[in-house]
Structure 1
């Protein structure tokens, strides 16, 4: 599995230490906070691949953290697994209705939780489960740095390759120029946001050769997305 960034929101220090150990051993990058307010700030600073969220944490309840993560465009589609000692059906339903993707009741086996997290990531972020990324008729070999569309090789420059890789890892997600700069060029990049437009045009020209359908959607005042409905 490719390295995934986890945000762990858990105020039980011993349990948090155990989870950090187990997930880092599985090559996860783990950011941890016991505080709900800080969790929202961390998620805003850098969008995680998955959130492991305890029901009862400091300053804000896990339910409220989940609700706010779902409202924010940057984290609306990030998978959230809730951890709780509350096992009643009504509580589980409430957690799922708030936007959680899965629900794990304490006590639990760390191995089982790692497996559940892996299952959720494979379902919602298949790009993290292997070395080949694909969407529609586009395939990317991330190890060999090769891209094909409809079976034909598509030559891409390094920046366009990284840009397409980011889109393939988040199909359907809309990214602003600023978010793309952070994710593809790096947070400390001094490149102007308009430079993103230039590389989007180059990427479009490369993958749309031969009158193929344009699958990069421009969303006015919002940004760009990899979307088969781009030409609709």
Structure 2
């Protein structure tokens, strides 16, 4: 089975028509759509994308599970419910367990199941062990953002293996892993051997999504396809 390859709407402020053109040009299978950021795709909504057989991997929200100031509602959740698609959320760092459970319960009831709640590895939020622990007891999934994992991990390889059983999508951008400071996105050819190997981990055939502002789409999707070829060998 082939790994789906896709792009995030956060790579550029595109209309639905422009996003579809990019998917056709690069022979992409899916997109993730960020909600509530004023991106132009929201003016038309996702129907035309879906009508052309392009999948929506998830709707991206700013919901933070375990944060008492975060609302468990909003347009992203409405879309996820309407289209039966996963929603991207975050898990607060060292969150209160009772509040986490309450938030998971609210989202689970709205979505019809915890399996549509996907937690992203992201700087400023929970560590990989906490994400894996929550997924193991709740059926949530994980969006493994390779740069986010690097920023919150002491050992990327070990912690990628730790979350691997729960990973539902890979979200990929290029960066230098020799410095742990905020840096601009780079083309994927700049990834180190260690980071390349992490992307070749045991994640099944979950979608691989480009989420980068490096403006190197052609080269980055060629990188994805080289990686997919190696996985099949």
Per the normalisation by structure 2, the TM-score is: 0.29
Per the normalisation by structure 1, the TM-score is: 0.30
Relative contact order (alpha carbons < 8 A, sep ≥ 6): 1 or 2 greater? 2
